[in-house]
Each structure stands twice: as structure tokens, then as C-alpha cells.
């Protein structure tokens, strides 16, 4: 079973999945919608990807403020978490995503991606960073218990 990482935004959802060994995260796609509250097609596409990649759990980016408070986006992400759990029946873990979009942008700059093309990839790369952070933490905990 793989783990899916999601970066939930107002009009997009970046999607990443782990490899079967739960070591690395790879970007899959960006799901786009015309309006923020129109989630039916977005949830249907996530379900298709869950089946295609044999996903057993989901990690959802949780956008806390830099001072560790929760703002409007965090509340919307928590609501999306509940919808995902109801619709898919899978456990969804909220993961602190502070600075992932900044890191994604920096990664694209270092890769030489032109400014006008970065917006096409930033959400997917943010999803990869969210999932990779989660996988790294989980794997470092396993390494400590095996020593």
C-alpha cells in the first residue's frame, strides 16, 4: 500500500504518491477546479488515483500560520480532511506544511524553470514535499526503534 500526499488549495489540489516501500514521494498531477467550493469532481479524481496507485492512507497539508496559529486556510483544510475520510474511507493525517510552497518555488528556481511556468508545477511539488516530510519522519522513527 502506498501513501498519497495532497496540497489543498483554493482552486487546485497537488497530488503525490509514495513508492511501494514508503521511502520516496513522486508528483502525480494537479487537480484543477473552477470554483473553490466545487469539490465533487476533485474528490472523484482523488478516488480514481487512490484505486490506480493502491493507496492505503492520505497525508494532507495543513497550512498553519508562522506563529503556530490556525487561520482560515487551516479550517478549510480540516473540512476537506473530513470530506476525504467520509468519501474514501481512508485515514487522513494532517501535516504541517509551512513553507512548502516557498521550498517548491525555490526548487523550481534552482532547476531553471522559468517564472511563467512555475505556477504550473508548484502545487504538485508542494504535495511531494509534504509527503516526503511525512515519510522521512516515519522512517526516522522506524530506524531508531530498530537500533
Please name each of the domains of the chain with its CATH number.
2-146 (3.30.420.140)
The pLDDT value given to residue 71: 73
Q: In this model, does residue 141 exceed pLDDT 90?
A: no
Q: In this model, does residue 98 exceed pLDDT 80?
A: no
% of the chain exceeding 70 in pLDDT:
89
| 55-62 sheet: strands from edge to edge | 25-32, 12-18, 2-8, 55-62, 92-96
pTM of the entire structure?
Answer: 0.85
The helix, strand and coil proportions of the chain, stated in percent and rounded to the nearest 5, come to 50, 25, 25
The pLDDT value given to residue 18: 98
Q: What is the mean pLDDT of the chain?
A: 86
The pLDDT value given to residue 142: 64
Q: In this model, does residue 105 exceed pLDDT 80?
A: no
The pLDDT tens digits for 47-88 are 999 999 999 999 999 987 667 677 788 889 999 999 999 999
Amino acid at each position: 500500500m502506498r501513501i498519497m500526499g495532497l496540497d489543498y488549495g483554493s482552486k487546485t489540489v497537488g497530488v503525490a504518491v509514495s513508492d511501494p516501500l514508503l521511502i520516496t514521494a513522486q508528483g502525480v498531477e494537479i487537480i484543477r477546479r473552477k470554483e473553490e467550493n466545487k469539490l465533487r469532481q476533485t474528490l472523484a479524481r482523488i478516488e480514481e488515483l487512490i484505486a490506480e496507485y493502491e493507496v492505503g492512507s492520505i497525508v494532507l497539508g495543513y497550512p498553519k500560520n508562522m506563529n503556530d496559529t490556525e487561520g482560515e486556510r487551516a479550517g478549510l483544510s480540516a473540512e476537506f480532511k473530513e470530506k476525504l475520510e467520509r468519501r474514501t474511507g481512508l485515514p487522513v493525517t494532517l501535516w504541517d506544511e509551512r513553507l512548502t510552497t516557498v521550498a517548491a518555488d525555490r526548487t523550481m528556481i534552482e532547476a531553471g524553470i522559468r517564472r511563467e511556468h512555475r505556477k504550473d508545477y508548484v502545487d504538485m511539488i508542494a504535495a511531494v514535499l509534504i509527503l516526503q516530510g511525512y515519510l522521512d519522519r516515519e522512517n526516522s522513527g522506524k530506524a531508531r526503534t530498530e537500533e
